[in-house]
Structure formats: C-alpha cells, structure tokens
Amino acid sequence: MNNFTYCTPTRYLFGRGVEIETGKQISALGIIRALVVYGGGSAVKSGVLGRVLESLETASVKTVTLGGVQPNPLDDKVREGIALGREFGVDGIVAVGGGSVIDTAKAIAAGIPYDGDFWDFWAGKNVISKALPVGVVLTIPAAGSEGSGNSVITLREGMRKISLRTDYWLRPKVALMNPELTFTLPPYQTAAGIVDMMAHIMERYFTPTPEVEITDRVSEGVLMAIMEEGRKVMAHPDDYDARANIMWSGTLAHNGICGTGRVEDWTSHAMEHELSALYGVTHGAGLAVVFPAWLTFMARHSPAKPAQFARRVMKVDAAGSDMELALQGIARLKDFFRSLGMPVTLAELGVPDPDIPELVRRLHDNKGAVIGGYYRLEAPQTTEIYRLML
Amino acid sequence: MNNFTYCTPTRYLFGRGVEIETGKQISALGIIRALVVYGGGSAVKSGVLGRVLESLETASVKTVTLGGVQPNPLDDKVREGIALGREFGVDGIVAVGGGSVIDTAKAIAAGIPYDGDFWDFWAGKNVISKALPVGVVLTIPAAGSEGSGNSVITLREGMRKISLRTDYWLRPKVALMNPELTFTLPPYQTAAGIVDMMAHIMERYFTPTPEVEITDRVSEGVLMAIMEEGRKVMAHPDDYDARANIMWSGTLAHNGICGTGRVEDWTSHAMEHELSALYGVTHGAGLAVVFPAWLTFMARHSPAKPAQFARRVMKVDAAGSDMELALQGIARLKDFFRSLGMPVTLAELGVPDPDIPELVRRLHDNKGAVIGGYYRLEAPQTTEIYRLML
C-alpha cells in the first residue's frame, strides 16, 4: 500500500427534500451574495431552481443566476460566470445540476479571486491557492463532482478537454442530495451516469500497486451495489431507494475512498475525453465503449487484476487462466452496459468512422507520450485500444 | 434508505514515517501551544513520542505532556488534562496513542473552553458547542477514534462508561497514521483491535432499515478485508501491507461511511461496556464474547440480515432457512475470533462467574429500559443474551 493523504471535508445532506436546506447551509458558510449556476431548462421546469432560490432568499442570501451550462462545459461559460460574479461581488457559488454545472461552478470559484486567466490552472501554468466556497444541489448522479476535488473544462480553442484535480480547493463545502430530483432523468442519461460512476472506480481499481485489499474490497462493494441498483432504476425510475443507492454510490465512486493507497490509471477517461471533444458524445456513453476495450487490452498484458474483477465483481465462477477469466468478466461487463441501453462499440456510439490517428495524436498531445498508471501506453498501444472499440 | 448527514473533515496522512509531519500539520492548524497526551511507556520506549515532540519543536509549537492514560480511560485523567492545559494556556491537543488516549484528548479539548464540568456533555446535560482542535498520531488501530466524532470515558464514581457521539466537534482535525508503529503491538492487543473494528461495522450493519445496498456492500467489503488482513498480521506482525490494510480499515469502520442511511444498533457495545466497567476486561476481547451471543439471539428473532452476513461475508454457501444460514455464519465468526486467540465465552474472557442481574441492571440504568436499533430489547432479552455468553 502506498502512502496517501485523504481529506474529504464536504458536508453531505442526503435525503428527501434536502434542497430546501440550501439557504441555511449556504448562509452557515458565511456567504451573503451567491452566484447560482445551472444548466438547461430542466432545473427551471422541475421547480428545483425555484425552491433553491426561495430557500436562499429566506436565508437572506442575495443571488444572481447563470444558466445555460452545456454538457462538456466550455471555458466561455466559465469566463461569463467570472465576469458576472465579479460584477455582482459574490462571495460564494451555488451549483444546481450535475457534473457539468458543478465543474463550471468550481472553475468560476477559482477564477473570481485570481488575477490571471482561470485557464492557467487547467493548463498547469499555476496552482490554485484560493477559491470561493462552492455549494451543490445535485440533480444528476454521475460525475461525482459534488464530493471530488476535480473539474473538467473544455477550452473551445482546439477543443482541449482537461480535468484538473486538486486535493482541497475544488471540493464543495456542502452538497445537498435529494434522490427524488433524479426520478425524471431520461433513461439514457441515467444509464450514462451509471457507467461514469463505475468508470470512476475502475480507473482506480486497476492498479499496479499490490496489497491494497481494503481499497479493493470497498471498490468492489461499490461496483456491485451500482450494478444491482442500476438494474432497478432502469426498470423503475421512481424507485426512491434504488435512486438513493445510485446517488450515494456516485459520490463514493469519486470522492477518493476508492483510491486510497494506490497508483490510479485514468487512461480510459483520457481516451474518452478525445471522443467527447471530437464527436460531442455523452461522456458516460463514451466510457461504455472505451472501458471494455481498454480492459481487453489489459487482459492480454496484465491480467491478474482483471481476473480478480471478474471473480469478485462479475461473479465469474470458472476455472481458467487469469486471461480467460478476465475476458469472461469483460464480456459480462459489456452485457451489463448493453442491458442499460449503452453502446459498447464506436458505431453504436454514433461514430461509425472514427479518425483514430487524430484521436491518438490529440490524446498524446494533451496527456504526454506515455500515459496510464496500470500499464504504460504509447501511441501504438492506444491506437490498438481505439481499434478494439470498432 | 433513511435521510442522513455525513461530514468527515479529518485530514489523514497515511504511510511510512508520517509522524515526523506532526509539527507541520499541527502548526498549519494555527496551534502554537499544544498539550501532548499519551498512554503507557510504549510510546516513550518506541521513540514515537520523542519524534513527535521533536517535530513539534521544529515547527515552533510549544508543548506540555500528559502521560499515563489507561485503557477504559477515567474522568480523573481528563480533569488532570483540563487543569494542565488551562494552566499552560494550550490552544490544541495532540494525542499519541490509541482509542483511550484519543478519547481522553477529545474530552480535554471539549472541557478546556467549557465553564462547567466536562462530564455534563457525557451525562447529556449539555451539548458541545466549542472545542480545541485535536491532532492524532495513531499507534493502535482499533477504536477508530482518529476519524470518529466519538469519545468513550468512564466516570470513576459508579464506574459509568459512556460513549458520547458528536457529528462534528470531536472529530480530529488531522490524523497521522504510520502502520510501522503497530509492528510491536502484542498479539492480544492486535487481535482485540481487529474484533473492535469488526464490531464497529456490525453495530451499523445489523439494521432494520431496508434497501441500503451501497452501505451494506461497503460494510461487507471492509469486513472481508479485515478478516483477510487480520489473519496476515497475526501470522506476520511486521507485514507492512497487512498492518496498513488493518490500520486504514479501522478508520473506515468507524468514521461513518459504514453507517450512511440507516438506523444503527450499538447494543453489543453497551453490553460490553458493562463488562469492562465491572470486570476491567479489554474492550475488543469483551466484544468477541458479546457479539456472537447478541447475533445468536438475533438469528432467532430477526434472521434475514444475519443470513445475508453469513452468505456475503462469511461465505456460507448452503441451502437452508435464514436462521440456519445465520447460525452457520455465527459459527464461522466465532471460529475466526478463536483463530485470533480471542475468547468467545465469558469464562474464556476471565469472567467465569458473572453477576448477570447486576450487568443487566447497570445496562438499563445507563442506557434506558429499551435499547437497540436492530431489534428492541428489554431486561428479559438482554438477560438472555448475557446468558448466551456463558
């Protein structure tokens, strides 16, 4: 087990109706003027945005709103938020939405008190040392951004999609999580969220670090819970308990508890980010294509952990070499993704004729010549993995 | 799944040599005069106390020390610490030790800024609204106090052993966890710690709340990891990775992650506290006797969850009623405790002739006429459970 630091100070309020606590919680953070960030019209139509604004007003928190955050959020919206927040003199950000909204809110929170261009942090030119406090009302469980220190923003110039990870500064101070708000999520979005949270665990799980049994067992447990409850929410979108289990699983998948003590990988996310950037696909759906392909490559080159995954998580109960077990586990993983209505090939994803050389070029331009923590990959290998998605 | 609030802001630094970071971490909390609390001579002899004091001095943190905290710590030592801390004008506490030392440090931290008697909080006469920050250098993994909001103190008058649980105030700000410091723990203490951490999970796991699959799966995962790694540390006390897995498991067992969304029980701890108070037994060893007895009672009255425990954790793979499965699971749990060298009867615990009526009287005097979250118990039932320990 490797040395690690673990600190997840986010205060989670979880359950029915918790969004009406927003004002009280935001006020308790000392925030008196908040920028409220949201996405499309669903937060307005569902009434959640109205309840949040009313709750903030009741708690005497002044607000200004910024709507229209899109999936795979762009730097433009962050800049718009920074300008609006400065103009209004906000001292905190409230995100009402899913990963794209929260990631945008985090970037605004880091950008407002910074003299330079916020993208400096994402480009690795500077390190965040100050940020406004962020509160979250979660409406889409998937990205885990409500508990993570991460923010993924795409720079329109060159469509560079970059994930910034901080230990501390970008973690929300408070997250209000009402599973009822997710009843009306469309099936495709629910399914993509399930894949995304599973990927967040698997990116950590497939590691070269030996002897991390406690982290393995926790990760396997969260994966099994997601699969069991995932089947339920697809069949019964208004099953409160299933939605609650999925929502909390999405947080645990990405708040760090599944990563303690080990080297992580994140190749699949990097490979998917290029698909999203080039073809505008839904992140979770892209991961459903990338992850089995990446894992198939791994079964050939480093099969022990994929075999453990097959036995413990996918319940493959057969004799055979590690590679054989691993391949059976991958087949079951694909079956599960298909059962959710997710694609498992690029064609099914709507990219029948991908420009693999361009994907590979962009990937290594953005992430370096050698990538991955589990098994080190260069362009010939990442090319092979993209081909496995065909 | 029930509504819940979850907030674990402790910063964990985990790994080889991390105790030399104590000064830097304590100083970063703004502490300039610290009371350093420790237990017996082992912290002195092993050199860890010296390294911690040196690290604090290097960071310009002034210190005063309070040693001699005993297992099942008494209010006397807390009062001594409060007086010493006030005299020296400390603004933070550093605990170097295990649960008893940390719990004493927490009580001192709550007592110093309080005008009344610190026991008011434990007696339920007042609620903590202020406490000095506490840092921990953990040397005994078991109690989970390094990450929990709990503190268990025994009032010498009447030997009342009371656990106070707070959401926030008693959680340490920072915990430094070096598994190497646990290599020299005696086997009995290592084993008792393993039982204690398993009990912390099981007190939460056996719940009447349905549909908490994510919390169940995480709990089951931590239990399986503890059993696997527990066998290793007993066989090889200086196996770094096994010690590391056990140490981190002890934190996860009690920082709340195994309890989200459900009613908890805690009857077994309450029943053990009376054994410790009356007969001075080691807490974890007492739990090895209490828990299987309590679970045997439960198998008769509410067998579904004990059967799930048997299947998923104890790997009982047989046909049969829930009660039959549960009893097989309990038999395996006892076998595991025995394999650690732990007692599973009161006689083996060194209490061949227990005063059961007195234990029951004290239990309900301290905890109320009806106790337990999983299944409600009155004196006739708790009497039956104590008898099952014979």
Which residues of chain B does A5 touch, with a Cβ-Cβ cutoff of 8 Å?
A: 11-14
Listed range (A38-52, B14-28, B317-331) with the worst mean pLDDT: A38-52
Substitution target in A2, A214, A309 with the highest count of B β-carbons within 10 Å is A214
pLDDT tens-digit map of B204-240: 999 999 999 999 999 999 999 999 999 999 999 999 9
Higher pLDDT, B167 or B61: B61
Task: Please give the share of chain B, as a percent, with pLDDT higher than 90.
Answer: 94
Closest CA to A258 of A307, A313, A190: A313
3-state SS track over chain B: CCCEEEEEEEEEEECCCHHHHHHHHHHHCCCCEEEEEECCCHHHHCCHHHHHHHHHHHCCCEEEEECCCCCCCEHHHHHHHHHHHHHHCCCEEEEEECHHHHHHHHHHHHHCCCCCCCHHHHCCCCCCCCCCCEEEEECCCCCCCCCCCEEEEEECCCCEEEEEECCCCCCCCEEEECHHHHCCCCHHHHHHHHHHHHHHHHHHHCCCCCCCHHHHHHHHHHHHHHHHHHHHHHHCCCCHHHHHHHHHHHHHHHCCCCCCCCCCCCHHHHHHHHHHHHHCCCHHHHHHHHHHHHHHHHHHHCCHHHHHHHHHCCCCCCCCCHHHHHHHHHHHHHHHHHHCCCCCCCCCCCCCCCCHHHHHHHHHHHHCCCECCCCCECHHHHHHHHHHCC
Q: Hey, CA dihedral for B14, B19, B21, B25, is it positive or negative?
A: positive
Residue B167 pLDDT > 90: no
List the single residue in B with minimal CA-CA distance to A214: B225
Interval A276-294 mean pLDDT: 95
Q: What is the mean pLDDT of chain B?
A: 96
A129 contacts chain B (CB < 8 A): no
Residue A183 burial (CB < 10 Å; 0-12/13-18/19+)?
Answer: middle
User: What band does A362 get if pLDDT is binned at 50, 70 and 90?
Assistant: very high
B361 contacts chain A (CB < 8 A): no
- In this complex, the residue of B7, B15, B228 whose CB is nearest that of residue A11 is B7
User: What band does B40 get if pLDDT is binned at 50, 70 and 90?
Assistant: confident
Listed range (A346-350, B173-177, B248-252, B279-283) with the worst mean pLDDT: B279-283
Interface contact flag, A210 B2, Cβ < 8 Å: no
Instruction: Give this prediction's pTM.
Output: 0.97
B61-120 residues touching A, CB cutoff 8 A? none
Distance of CA B99 to the CA centre of its chain: 6
Residue B90 pLDDT > 90: yes
Separation between Cα atoms, residue B160 and residue B158, nearest integer Å: 5
pLDDT tens-digit map of B178-201: 999 999 999 999 999 999 999 999
CA distance A306 to chain B (A): 18
List the single residue in A with minimal CA-CA distance to B228: A213
Interval B163-172 mean pLDDT: 91
Interface contact flag, A12 B5, Cβ < 8 Å: yes
- In this complex, the residue of B2, B216, B222 whose CB is nearest that of residue A217 is B222
Residue A167 pLDDT > 90: no
B14 contacts chain A (CB < 8 A): yes
Which residues of chain A does B241 touch, with a Cβ-Cβ cutoff of 8 Å?
A: 1, 210-211
* Per-residue pLDDT at B129: 94
Interface contact flag, B245 A211, Cβ < 8 Å: yes
Residue A388 pLDDT > 90: yes
B221 contacts chain A (CB < 8 A): yes
Interval A92-102 mean pLDDT: 97
Residue B360 tokens read as 């029951």
B30 contacts chain A (CB < 8 A): no
B117-120: long-range pairs with CB below 8 Å, 24+: B118/B75, B118/B78, B118/B79, B118/B82, B119/B75, B119/B153, B119/B155
Residue A347 burial (CB < 10 Å; 0-12/13-18/19+)?
Answer: middle
Separation between Cα atoms, residue B95 and residue B66, nearest integer Å: 10
Interval B49-71 mean pLDDT: 97
Cβ neighbours around A159 below 10 Å, total: 16
CB pairs under 8 A between A and B: 131
B212 contacts chain A (CB < 8 A): yes
Interface contact flag, A213 B12, Cβ < 8 Å: no
CA distance A138 to chain B (A): 15
Separation between Cα atoms, residue A224 and residue A344, nearest integer Å: 20
* Per-residue pLDDT at A159: 87
Interface contact flag, B3 A15, Cβ < 8 Å: yes
pLDDT tens-digit map of A4-59: 999 999 999 999 999 999 999 999 999 999 999 999 878 888 899 999 999 999 99
Which residues of chain A does B220 touch, with a Cβ-Cβ cutoff of 8 Å?
A: 221
Substitution target in B218, B232, B243, B257 with the highest count of A β-carbons within 10 Å is B218
List the single residue in B with minimal CA-CA distance to A210: B241
* Per-residue pLDDT at B37: 98
The answer to whether B134 and B93 have CB atoms below 8 angstroms apart is: yes
A14 contacts chain B (CB < 8 A): yes
Q: What is the mean pLDDT of chain A?
A: 96
- Per DSSP bridges, beta strands A134-138 and A160-165 are unpaired
How far is the CA of B359 from the CAs of A192, B47, B74, B274, B371, in angstroms?
Answer: 55, 40, 19, 6, 14
pLDDT tens-digit map of B301-322: 999 999 999 999 999 998 999 9
pLDDT tens-digit map of B346-355: 999 999 999 9
Residue A82 pLDDT > 90: yes
* Per-residue pLDDT at A161: 87
- In this complex, the residue of A6, A18, A252 whose CB is nearest that of residue B12 is A6
Interface contact flag, B3 A9, Cβ < 8 Å: no
A241 contacts chain B (CB < 8 A): yes
